[in-house]
Structure 1
Amino acid sequence: MFAQSKVPYLTKHGRATQLVVNGQPYLMIAGELHNSSASTTEYMKPLFPKLKAMNLNTVFVSVAWEQFEPKEGVFDYTLVNAIIDNAKENHLKVCLLWFASWKNGESSYAPMWVKKDTKRFFRVKTKEGKAIETLSPFCEATKIADAKAFTQLMKHIKEYDTDQTVILMQPENEVGMFQDIDYNKVALDLFEKEVPKALMTYLKENKKQLDTYVSNAWSKSNFKTSGTWKEIFGDTPEAKAFFTTWQYATYINFVAKSGRGQYNLPMMVNAWIVQKPDDLPGVYPNGGPVSRVMDIWKAAAPNIDVQSPDIYLPNFKEIVARYHRDDNPLLIPESTAQMGRAYYAFGAHDAICFSPFGIEDASDDFVFKKAYGVLNEIQHYILKYQGTGNMKAVLKEGNETYEDLYMGDYKIKVMYEKPNEPSFGIVIQTDANEFLIIGMNLSVYFYSEKRDTTAYIGQVFEGRFENGAWVTTRMLNGDETFHNSRLRVFGRLFESSKGIDQINKKEGDPDAYSPSKMQKTITPGIYKVITYER
């Protein structure tokens, strides 16, 4: 049995929130397996060594209710144990995804004994009165059955996982219904009742910080503090959405709280996010933790620590800004495998985690492996500077050409090079006149913000970290920095004309930044810059 102090937990570090594992802050350099990859022990076993070779330290893996409790009250721990054992053998941590009542707004992972008993476990109804396959969040019997299974899962993890392999849990997945409201009588009757006091108390206490979507809807009643859903939010799609969201969130909070009673691991939920600004609830899963209703979730689900976006849209920077709040750290459980996104999330938004979906598909992606390898090298610096204001990041999106950063006495202009290739990086101010810059395809200029003062680059070093210690691979000057007028963040270069797996590093070659007939593959690099002013 664990002492509570050994259980992973979230804590503040400056303005950032960090995950603490085995007493140390932990950065989840992660990936999520495909939905069925852990459905058998045979299929999952060869995947874990590949994940470790990709420089991951954490993997998101699903556990299906239908396999965990194939018969009511009968639990099968085979797959859970195999996930833990394989991860432990490959020195990986795990976030378990509980695919139970809902996954992607549907209920295909519920056990057959639940699916067949439509009287006890009733379904969402359409406006026409048709029961669809999705389990209703208003069904008390389903909620209790789900919570019982999840509680047993948490109890087993606590007993079996003696090395703290599982560090985070996700109850359900991308929840919500593809309609404006559940037309079951129990739901419609509740919709005519007063808004719960807990939600009204939250809205009143957080009125100045509410998301505009919630605030604008509330303003329709001139911010009434009691009444029915329609009286508070109007006879609107928003009123139905807030009501539906409250029900999903309280249901999942019940499941999470029940599980945490056995083993108090941090809990997160993820969202199938709004795809277009004018999409009405139900076009996307209505009731899930989309950014519009994060405040409803905060009020309804205190046992959920983090609300997380699954991001496949191109406007990554805009989306993460919505989810990173003082009361909600950024944790990205699903994304495309674009490495600039990871660097930007960690460097600009103090993210706890970045995790592309279908991670095994990237197992042969050389650049991905190397980029994750660099994150492993510098994670101690990321963790140290999260929440301090001394770390920022850049990421080229669309037609952007540059970004200005302000750090200490400096304005730092970061130009994006090679418009058709990824350009991204992290900038850490480690001292008044010292900067660590990690990334690729950038040109970086330093300007003084002090009156009548000019900033200069004094020295530039290219290097790496070994066991946390800096190792200089070469000093850059002359043509490599245009005589210290800028830092050229090209990244690390590798031969790609033959056997990339041979990894012929070109960092030390005298012609590495000069024209060459040899085709190169570029991955992120690490640079130390010493500046001065006069």
Structure 2
Amino acid sequence: MKLIQVIFFFVFVMMQSLAQNIPHLAKKGSATQLIVDNQPFLMIAGEVHNSSASTVEYMEPLFPKLKRMNLNAVFVTLAWEQFEPQEGVYDFTLVNSIIENAEKNNLKVCLLWFASWKNGESSYAPLWVKKDTKRFFRVKTKDGLEIETLSPFCEATKLADAKAFKALMKHVREYDKNQTVILMQPQNEVGMFQDIDYNKLSLELFEKEVPESLMTYLKTHRNKLDDYIKNAWSKTNFKKSGTWIEVFGNTPEAKTFFTTWYYAQYINYVAKAGRDAYNLPMMVNAWIVQKPDDLPGVYPNGGPVSRVIDIWKAAAPDIDIQSPDIYLPNFKEIVAMYHREDNPLLIPESTSEVGRAFYAFGDHDAICYSPFGVEDAANDFLFTQSYKVLNEVQPLIKEYQGTGKMRAVLQEGDETYKDLYFGDYKVKVMYEKPKEPSFGIIIHTDNNEFIVIGMNLTVYFTSEKRDTIGYIGQVLEGRFEKEKWVTTRMLNGDETFHNSRLRVFGRTFETQEKIVEANKKEGEPDAYSPATNKVFTTPGVYKVITYQR
């Protein structure tokens, strides 16, 4: 008996150790971090085009290119139609190749499971699913026409999708010995382009009472609900039970809450099946609302847009993060909608405007920033060098996530400045060169010390203490090598107007292209001996020592 108990004890300890080593999410102060190999991991990432991993031949030369672009993670598509070309027959060729190529190039992976839906359509489902419209029925229009989108009310589709996803997750657990895959996304930008599914089953369910679990969530979180839900519910005086129309009124909102609930439940079922095989973190992404007055169906109705995050939280507990795909110009406003206490910020799709990455990591403790079609930015010098700087400073960013001592700035539109507050200091950040990227991260590393990372900024440090003036004592330009600060220049003269301000010029790289005409302003780095060649400017890193008296 003692021998058996010892064996069970060691098996238990081993299983606990393995579970802790699996990539997972963990709280750090007010932030949530992705833990990989027992360390916080910042996904300085990119998403490749939808078909870039559709063959081994096409993907093989892609991964070295991504590594040269200074990515440390990549979002890669795996299509259900290729993974399960015949029902019950699984082809592991592509997923194995993704893992192998990523591992060779020291890249971590988020697998995108394009299955029942992608961008509100169902083009990635297998042919054996698409052809059998009786077993796997489609969304119906108001006129009774079946469209190409698979219905979220179809039990057979949900079961088939979940079975395939579970097989995928089981294989990843067994094949991916070095945990190259760290995150999963079941489905992509889900939803239907109409107000409701007009299938008989859907309409019957719409007449039934709102599920008790949703009502319990709404009542428990009433004071924190998104205004879109709260305002709709308030029209019935926050009715505590009833049908969807009785609780939310005979409104477009009632239909979208209903549709959202069933999409979220479907995807949660798929995600849970996968997690039962291999418990990796799961996230979903949203084709976001493009205009505030857009009705559901103009954008994919049922997807995890910011308006219905709370519906998703109630319906899909096995989904860790709801994420926005951001191509609109009001980036800062959108990330604020998605970054919540119960929803860390993870951006799986956006543009290659790299200032967005700095802002997301610095101001919202983001887990990830990932431009879509990232391979298109391979020759974008600013992008690749900025990602290099992010890799350089990521240990510092991870250290200060969740502490309240790190903020970021990003110029949008006609903005000219931003005031930030750290301890006894007010930090005024002025945006320079309005036609060029202007962004940065400011970290309060000690009482009288700041690290500033960015480009095209002017920064003033003043005291918030009564009867006290704040001064800049020293400005050091430099870099981090193996997490240690290395000073490359001291900037205490013309470059800082004699320590009156920090001028974040950034790192410059001279090209072979000659300057035809140079007009330099006083105080710029080469004002007195103008450069003859054009230069590229990329983010720089600065240490500022301050004092008060």
Separation in structure 2 between the aligned mates of residue 91 and residue 513 of structure 1, nearest angstrom? 45
User: CA offsets per residue over residues 393-416 of structure 1, 9 Å max, x none?
Assistant: 000000000000011101100000
Asked if the contact 1:16–1:387 (Cα under 8 Å) also holds between the matched residues in 2, the reply is: yes
Residues 390, 89 of structure 1: alpha-carbon distance in 2 compared, 3 angstrom cutoff: same
Q: In structure 2, which of residues 358, 375, 382 is the aligned counterpart of residue 367 of structure 1?
A: 382
- 5 Å-filtered alignment, 1:101-116, equals 101-116=116-131
Separation in structure 1 between the aligned mates of residue 153 and residue 250 of structure 2, nearest angstrom? 21
Tell me the CA shift for residue 498 of structure 1: 4.7
1:21 paired with 2:47, answer no
Where 2:512 maps in the other structure, the secondary structure is: coil
1:449 maps to 464
- 5 Å-filtered alignment, 1:298-337, equals 298-337=313-352
Residues 394, 61 of structure 1: alpha-carbon distance in 2 compared, 3 angstrom cutoff: same
Tell me the CA shift for residue 496 of structure 1: 1.9
Gaps of 5+ in 2: 1-14, 515-523
1:346 maps to 361
Asked if the contact 1:97–1:170 (Cα under 8 Å) also holds between the matched residues in 2, the reply is: yes
Asked if the contact 2:495–2:525 (Cα under 8 Å) also holds between the matched residues in 1, the reply is: no
Separation in structure 2 between the aligned mates of residue 447 and residue 475 of structure 1, nearest angstrom? 21
- 5 Å-filtered alignment, 1:28-427, equals 28-427=43-442
Tell me the CA shift for residue 387 of structure 1: 0.4
Residues 510, 247 of structure 1: alpha-carbon distance in 2 compared, 3 angstrom cutoff: closer
Q: In structure 1, which of residues 465, 470, 495 is the aligned counterpart of residue 480 of structure 2?
A: 465
Separation in structure 2 between the aligned mates of residue 462 and residue 428 of structure 1, nearest angstrom? 15
User: CA offsets per residue over residues 242-274 of structure 1, 9 Å max, x none?
Assistant: 000000000000000000000000000000000
User: Which letter does structure 2 place at the counterpart of 1:42?
Assistant: E
Where 1:50 maps in the other structure, the secondary structure is: helix
Tell me the CA shift for residue 3 of structure 1: 1.2
User: Which letter does structure 2 place at the counterpart of 1:84?
Assistant: I
Residues 95, 513 of structure 1: alpha-carbon distance in 2 compared, 3 angstrom cutoff: farther
User: Which letter does structure 1 place at the counterpart of 2:317?
Assistant: P
Where 2:115 maps in the other structure, the secondary structure is: strand
Separation in structure 2 between the aligned mates of residue 399 and residue 517 of structure 1, nearest angstrom? 32
Asked if the contact 1:305–1:328 (Cα under 8 Å) also holds between the matched residues in 2, the reply is: yes
Asked if the contact 1:480–1:513 (Cα under 8 Å) also holds between the matched residues in 2, the reply is: no
How many residues are aligned here? 525
Separation in structure 2 between the aligned mates of residue 480 and residue 328 of structure 1, nearest angstrom? 42
Identity among equivalent positions (%) equals 76
Tell me the CA shift for residue 497 of structure 1: 2.7
Separation in structure 2 between the aligned mates of residue 336 and residue 13 of structure 1, nearest angstrom? 28
Q: Which TM-score applies when normalising by structure 1?
A: 0.97
Asked if the contact 2:140–2:198 (Cα under 8 Å) also holds between the matched residues in 1, the reply is: yes
Residues 133, 513 of structure 1: alpha-carbon distance in 2 compared, 3 angstrom cutoff: farther
Separation in structure 1 between the aligned mates of residue 250 and residue 217 of structure 2, nearest angstrom? 22
Where 2:109 maps in the other structure, the secondary structure is: strand
Tell me the CA shift for residue 5 of structure 1: 1.0
Asked if the contact 2:22–2:36 (Cα under 8 Å) also holds between the matched residues in 1, the reply is: yes
Tell me the CA shift for residue 517 of structure 1: 2.8
Tell me the CA shift for residue 516 of structure 1: 2.5
Separation in structure 2 between the aligned mates of residue 43 and residue 163 of structure 1, nearest angstrom? 24
Separation in structure 2 between the aligned mates of residue 223 and residue 460 of structure 1, nearest angstrom? 57
Where 2:429 maps in the other structure, the secondary structure is: strand
Tell me the CA shift for residue 512 of structure 1: 8.4
User: Which letter does structure 2 place at the counterpart of 1:140?
Assistant: E
Q: Which TM-score applies when normalising by structure 2?
A: 0.95
Moved over 6 A (4+): none
User: CA offsets per residue over residues 336-387 of structure 1, 9 Å max, x none?
Assistant: 0001000000000000000000000001111111000000000000000000
Where 2:106 maps in the other structure, the secondary structure is: coil
Asked if the contact 2:513–2:534 (Cα under 8 Å) also holds between the matched residues in 1, the reply is: no
Where 1:17 maps in the other structure, the secondary structure is: strand
1:503 maps to none
Tell me the CA shift for residue 467 of structure 1: 1.2
1:433 maps to 448
Asked if the contact 2:439–2:455 (Cα under 8 Å) also holds between the matched residues in 1, the reply is: yes
User: Which letter does structure 1 place at the counterpart of 2:195?
Assistant: D
Separation in structure 2 between the aligned mates of residue 144 and residue 510 of structure 1, nearest angstrom? 64
User: CA offsets per residue over residues 110-169 of structure 1, 9 Å max, x none?
Assistant: 000000000000000000000000000000000000000000000000000000000000
1:6 paired with 2:21, answer yes
User: CA offsets per residue over residues 155-211 of structure 1, 9 Å max, x none?
Assistant: 000000000000000000000000000000000000000000110000000000000
Where 1:497 maps in the other structure, the secondary structure is: strand
Residues 447, 101 of structure 1: alpha-carbon distance in 2 compared, 3 angstrom cutoff: same
User: Please, what is the CA RMSD of the aligned residues?
Assistant: 1.2
